[in-house]
Structure 1
Amino acid sequence: MNLSVAAVSEVVWVLGIVAWCIIRYPFERRAKRVPIVSNRRTGSEAVGLAAALAGLAIVPGFYVATSWPAAADYAPRLWAIVIGTILLCAAMWVFRRTHKQLGRNWSITLEIRKQHELICAGPYSLVRHPMYTSFLLMGLSQAFLLSNWVAGMAGLIGFGVLFIVRVDKEERMMLEVFGPRYRAYMAKTKRIIPYLY
C-alpha cells in the first residue's frame, strides 16, 4: 500500500470526524435547554443510530487506528482521495446548514420540542431530510477515502440501516404534528436527493 496516499486519506477522514463533532456540539448543548413535548424513541431507532455510529465512526476509526482488517485493503488512488475530500466537504456543508436551519427544533432522536416549527427553507427547500443527505455524503466520502473494503463500506451500510429503520417513522410523526402542511411539503420535495429521491 502506498503509505503516503493512504495516510493523507486517513487524515482527511479524521478531520471530517472532528469537523462533524465541532459542528454538532453547540446545537446539542442548546437542544438540551428546549423542553420535549413528544418523544417517539423506539428500539429500532436505537439500532439505527447505533448502526450509523458504528459504520460512520467506530469501524473506520478502529481501522485508521489499527489498520485492521488489513486483508481487506486495496491500493489507494489519488483521484479517490480528491473525490472523497469533495464529498466530505459537501457533507459537512449540508450538515452545518441543516443544523443552522433547524435551530431549536433539532434533536438527535424522534422528538417534538416545545413550539416546534415546520422548516421548509434552506436545504429543506430541496429535500425533506437533509441530515440524512449529509450522512449519505459522509458514507460515500468514507468509501473513497478509506481504501479498505470493510472500513470504507461500513459508512454506507450504517447510513442505510439508519435510513431504513427511521425515515418512515419520522415522516409519520411529522404528518401527525403538521398534518396537511407536511403533506403539501412532501408533495413539493424529495426525501434525500434533490429532484431524484
Structure 2
Amino acid sequence: MPESVPPSSPLRRPMTPEDDPSDEHLSTEDAPTNDKLAPPPPSLANDSEEAEDFVTPMASNFPPKDVKANVEANGNGDSPKAWSSASFAGFNKRHVRRSSRQYPNMVIDTSKTKLHPSPNHHPPPEKDPGANPTLPLSALPRPPGLEYHSGGKKSLEGIAIRAFCLGNAFSLCLALVVAILALTSSPLWRLPFFVGALALFHFLEFWTTARGNTAEAGVKAFLLTANWPHYAIAHSTAMLECLVVNLFWPQRSWAPLYTGSVLLLLGLILTAVGQFIRTAAMLQAGSSFNHIVQTRLGDGHDLVTTGIYGVIRHPAYFAFFWWGLGTQLVLGNPICFVAYAVVLWRFFSVRIREEETYLVNKYKEDYLEYRKRVPTRIPFVG
C-alpha cells in the first residue's frame, strides 16, 4: 500500500464524477472528504494489513454466486456489540455497499466480525481466577440482633415459650404428686414426679448457662432436643414401663429382700443430689462449661480444679449419670434401670475420653496431674 498523502498535497489527484467509488484499488486513504459515511476507526485506517484482510472477499475473481463469508479480523473483543456503534456502522456500510454493487448475490455475515474497539471504549476487566466467588445470601453476615428475633438461635420468643411450658409442667406435676399421695394409695405418683424432674432439669440447664456462660444462652441451651431422638425414646420407654407395671400389677415388688422402700429413698436422694451437683458444677465452671465438646479451647477456657472439681473430675457428667439411675429407681423400672446404666456408661466413657484428648493438648502436664489426682466417680471410667 502507498504512503498516505495529506489532502493539501499537490500530488493528490482530484475526484471527478466519472470516478467509481467502488473501484477495487480505492483504499481508505483515498476516500473523498465529503463522504457522508462515518470514517473507519483510526486503528484500521492506519493498519493496512488488517484493512486488506477485511476487503479480501471483494476481489474481482470472487465467484459471483450465493456465498456467505465469515469475516474475522484480528481484534481484542468478543462481539461487535462491544465497539463504538458509529465506527462499526460507518466502516461496514461502505464495504457492504461497494461489494453489493459488484456481487449482488454475496451475503456477508458480520455476526462474528471482530474489530478494534473505539479509543474511548474500555472493556470490562477480566475476572481474577483466584478471586473469591460471590457468596450466597445465606453465607453473608447477618445484621446484629437478628438472632434474638423469632426463629433465631437466641430467639427471645422461643426462650420465653420454653421457659413458660417447663414452669407450668413442673407446677402441674408437683400438684399431681401431692394430690395422688394425699388422696390415694396408687403408685402412679411416680410418673408426674419423673416428668417434673425432667422439667426442672431442662429449665436449670438454660438458667445456669444464662448465668455462667451468657454468650451461649440460646434456645438449644434447654437441651430439649439434645441427642434426638434417642433421648426422647429413652424417657418415653421409662414412663411406659412404669405406667404398664403399676396399672396391671400395682402390688408387685421387684426389689430383693423387701428393700423396695430403701431403693425408692435411694432413688430420690440420687435424683436430688445429682441435680444439685450438676447445677453447682456448671455455675462454678462459668464460661468454661459448654454443652458441646470444644475441639479448640480458647483463652477464655480455664482449667477448674477447685471446689466440686477438686473432688470429682467431670462433675456434670457424674451428676447426670447418677441422676438418670436415680429416676429409674423412683419409677421402679428394673428393665430401664439396666438399660439406662449401660447406655449412660457408654455415652460418658466415650465423651470423657474425647474431651480429655483436647484438655491434655492444651494444659499438658497440668491436666495429666489433675487426672491422676481426681477420679470421675463413674464406675470403670477414667
**What is the 5 A alignment of 1:1-197?**
4=185, 6-29=187-210, 31=213, 33=215, 49=227, 53-54=231-232, 57-63=235-241, 67=244, 75=253, 77-111=260-294, 112=297, 115-192=300-377
Q: Which has the higher helix share?
A: 1
Matches of 1:49 and 1:32, distance apart in 2: 22
For residues 37-76 of structure 1, give each alpha carbon's deviation from its aligned partner in whole angstroms, at most 9, with x where no partner exists: xxxxxxxxxxx95697357634324545x648x8999537
Q: Which structure would you say has the larger RCO, counting Cα contacts within 8 Å and 6 or more residues apart?
A: 1
8 Å contact kept, 1:136–1:159? yes
CA distance in structure 2 between the partners assigned to 1:186 and 1:166 by the alignment: 15
DSSP 3-state at the match of 1:110 = coil
Query: Can you give the 5+ residue segments of structure 2 that lack an aligned partner in the other structure?
Result: 1-183, 217-225, 255-259
Please give the TM-score of this superposition, normalised by the length of structure 2.
0.41
CA contact (8 A) 2:281 2:316 kept: yes
What is the one-letter code of the residue matched to 2:358? M
The answer as to whether partners of 1:105 and 1:113 remain within 8 angstroms in 2 is no
Alpha carbons 1:9, 1:145 under 8 Å: kept: yes
- Residue 56 of structure 1 contacts residue 139 of structure 1 at CA under 8 Å; is this kept in 2? no
Q: Quick one: structure 1 residues 7 and 113, their matched pair in 2 at CA, closer, same or farther if it must change by over 3 Å?
A: farther
Matched residue SS, 1:16: helix
Cα RMSD of the aligned pairs, angstroms, is 3.4
Letter in 2 for 1:9: R
Count of equivalent residues: 180
Please tell me whether Structure 1 or Structure 2 has the larger radius of gyration of its CA atoms.
2
Unaligned segments of structure 1, at least 5 residues? 35-47
The 8 Å contact of residues 84 and 142 in structure 1, kept in 2 or not, is answered as: yes
Aligned 8 A contact 2:238 2:328 in 1: no
Q: 1:117 to 1:105 in 2, by over 3 A?
A: same
**Structure 1 residues 136 and 5: alpha-carbon distance in aligned structure 2, compared to 1, 3 A threshold:** farther
Q: CA deviation at 1:188?
A: 1.5
Instruction: Report % sequence identity.
Output: 18
- 1:45 is aligned to none
SS where residue 302 of structure 2 aligns? coil
Amino acid at match of 2:191: E
Q: Distance in 2 between matches of 1:181 and 1:140?
A: 32
- Report if the CA contact (8 A) 2:287-2:300 is conserved: no
Q: Is the 8 A contact 2:281 2:315 kept in 1?
A: yes
1:60–1:154 CA contact under 8 A, matched in 2 = no
Q: How far, CA to CA, are the matches of 1:60 and 1:19 in structure 2?
A: 18
